[in-house]
């Protein structure tokens, strides 16, 4: 659908994209030169996730993944977005839908600039940074397209990224179907990660990549550190695949590694990065219930009327952990459950999620259409790290905060997101 992007290529092209992680591997190895060290895994997973989505979505490098390098303003803005907006959740939920309908964009911008609120100004600056950066990238790609194939070949990924593909498709479209430059930019974000609450903010995918995928990767590494036998089993599978393929695991074989797939699925089941979401009913609907309930009048009901504009909170974690569907061990992290037939009750429930009977990536028209990219990214990063490094839990207690996106912190300092794990080289002499 999108040409030779990260999630659709094989062979030599996929091998080139795997090289994105070489700097990350080297940076961690440099830290371990003197032996086992504690490393903030969340920090490095966030940087790696943004770099991978940056190159695949924009054909642009935001981070050289080198220790001590100056962060790109786009990266800083992406990391700051959720912590900043979470402090204004009520205003965003109740006031923003009203304010966006008042006056012209120029007038609304004037209001934002003159309204005395530091957090509002911080969000404004984040959006401005995203807009300025992507506009600069867009203009550079536009010039390269005008100059021809030689200029395109000099770009990161040789113009195989999503933005370049959409731009080329738009140029070839008929006059009546052609989009404006602003509309093309908007489609980049929507194609990678669509969010119902902000359909016109094209950078939604950026903080989704840095927070949801990086936190899922961090959680997986934390779980593997707590269960060394599972970690060794995964490492053995990856190393065996590497030996069979002379060091490089092709795309088809990587995504098909059974225990790797089981580890990823089980983490995304038990520890979905986003524990709940809110949706609004667009019309009156009758919601059928899987199990009848008794109303306040004592009568049994097998459905509920949901009026238009009702806010509905979807408990993703509860759906993914339901013991009636997953069994008595539904609260345990057991990757091996995916290596045997799943419970009959789960199949009969017909969970509407687009991924593995789960609601992790939601379902329907507002499902995350970037879920395959996220899965591939997890497997590429895990196969790279687990074959080179051995992970151990830290001495201090880790606590996962149930905020908008589940985030690890030290129990003694909950204000700072971090996941320090002790790491050593699997083969120190290599």
382-393 per-position pLDDT tens digit: 999 999 999 999
Running DSSP on this structure, what letter comes out for residue 70?
Answer: P
Q: Decide: pTM greater than 0.75.
A: yes
Query: According to the model, what pLDDT value does residue 345 have?
Result: 92
Residue 397 has what pLDDT? 93
Q: Which segments in the chain show pLDDT lower than 50?
A: 1-13, 190-208
Q: Which residues is 305 bridged to in the sheet?
A: 286
Q: What is the pLDDT of residue 10?
A: 41
Give residue 7's region: left, alpha or beta (phi > 0; psi -120 to 50).
alpha
Cα separation of 304 and 61, whole Å? Answer: 50
The DSSP call for residue 200 is: T
Quote the pLDDT of residue 188.
61
Q: How far apart are CA 11 and CA 245, in angstroms?
A: 12
By the 10 Å C-beta count (0-12 exposed, 13-18 middle, 19+ buried), 7 is classed as buried
At 336 the pLDDT is 97
Q: What is the per-residue pLDDT for 157? A: 61
Percentages of the chain per state (helix, strand, coil), in multiples of 5 = 55, 15, 30
Q: Which residues pair with residue 277 across a beta bridge?
A: 314
CA pair distance 322, 293, nearest whole angstrom:
17
pLDDT at 153: 67
Report the distance separating Cα 48 and Cα 85, nearest Å: 23
Write down the pLDDT at residue 7: 37
| Residue 188 near residue 202 (C-beta atoms within 8 A) | yes
Which residues, in sequence order, are bridge partners of residue 423? 37, 391
What's residue 273's pLDDT?
92
Q: Going along 307-351, which residue ranges are E strands?
A: 311-315
List the one residue out of 203, 162, 185 whose CA is nearest residue 8: 162
Res 404: pLDDT? 80
pLDDT value of position 99: 81
DSSP 21: G
């Amino acid at each position: 659908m999108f040409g030779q992007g990260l999630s659709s290529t094989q062979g030599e092209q996929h091998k080139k994209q795997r090289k994105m992680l070489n700097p990350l591997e080297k940076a961690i190895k440099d830290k371990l030169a003197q032996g086992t060290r504690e490393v903030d895994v969340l920090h490095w997973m966030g940087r790696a996730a943004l770099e991978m989505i940056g190159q695949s979505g924009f054909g642009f490098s935001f981070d050289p993944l080198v220790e001590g390098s100056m962060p790109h303003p786009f990266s800083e803005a992406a990391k700051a977005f959720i912590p900043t907006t979470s402090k204004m959740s009520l205003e965003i939920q109740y006031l923003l839908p009203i304010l966006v309908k008042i006056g012209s964009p120029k007038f609304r911008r004037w209001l934002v600039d003159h309204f005395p609120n530091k957090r509002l100004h911080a969000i404004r600056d984040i959006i401005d940074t995203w807009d300025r950066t992507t506009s600069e990238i867009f203009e550079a790609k536009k010039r390269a397209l005008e100059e021809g194939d030689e200029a395109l070949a000099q770009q990161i990924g040789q113009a195989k990224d999503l933005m370049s593909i959409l731009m080329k498709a738009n140029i070839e479209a008929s006059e009546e179907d052609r989009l404006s430059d602003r509309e093309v930019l908007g489609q980049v974000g929507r194609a990678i990660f669509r969010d119902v609450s902000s359909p016109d903010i094209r950078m939604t995918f950026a903080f989704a990549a840095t927070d949801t995928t990086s936190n899922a990767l961090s959680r997986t590494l934390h779980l593997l550190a707590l269960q060394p036998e599972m970690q060794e089993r995964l490492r053995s599978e990856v190393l065996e695949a590497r030996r069979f393929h002379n060091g490089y695991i092709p795309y088809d074989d990587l995504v098909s590694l059974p225990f790797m797939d089981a580890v990823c699925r089980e983490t995304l089941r038990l520890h979905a990065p986003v524990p709940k979401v809110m949706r609004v009913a667009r019309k009156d609907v009758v919601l059928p219930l899987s199990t009848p309930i008794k109303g306040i009048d004592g009568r049994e009901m097998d459905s509920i009327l949901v009026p238009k504009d009702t806010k509905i909170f979807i408990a993703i974690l509860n759906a993914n952990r339901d013991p009636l569907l997953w069994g008595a061990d539904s609260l345990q992290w057991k990757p091996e459950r995916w290596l045997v037939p799943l419970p009959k009750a789960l199949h009969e429930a017909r969970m509407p999620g687009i991924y593995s009977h789960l609601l992790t990536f939601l379902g329907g028209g507002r499902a995350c259409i970037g879920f395959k990219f996220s899965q591939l990214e997890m497997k590429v990063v895990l196969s790279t790290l687990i074959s080179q490094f051995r992970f151990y839990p830290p001495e201090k207690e880790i606590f996962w905060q149930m905020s908008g996106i589940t985030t690890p912190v030290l129990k003694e300092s909950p204000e700072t997101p971090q996941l320090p794990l002790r790491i050593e080289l699997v083969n120190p002499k290599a």
